[in-house]
Amino acid sequence: DPKEIAEHLMLIDLGRNDVGRVAETGSVEVTERFVIERYSHVMHISSNVIGRLKAGKTAMDVLRA
């Protein structure tokens, strides 16, 4: 569904932005895109966004981001 794809792309962008606040410049990447997770009564689209933590940042900074 085009609407679902557009919404998920927006969520990926938001995730990249959030991770980018605490990650080293150039280290943010999407490692998995549009993976369908199937459960007993529902299916979810998921993606993974990762980055290398900036020096001086802590796990609490990550949670706040």
Q: 55 pLDDT band (50/70/90 cuts)?
A: very high
- Spatial distance between the Cα atoms of 16 and 23, rounded to a whole number of angstroms: 10
Q: Which H or E element spans position 48?
A: strand 43-50
CA 5 to chain centre: 15
- Spatial distance between the Cα atoms of 35 and 40, rounded to a whole number of angstroms: 16
Q: Are 46 and 35 in contact (CB under 8 A)?
A: yes
pLDDT in tens, 23-48: 999 999 999 999 999 999 999 999 99
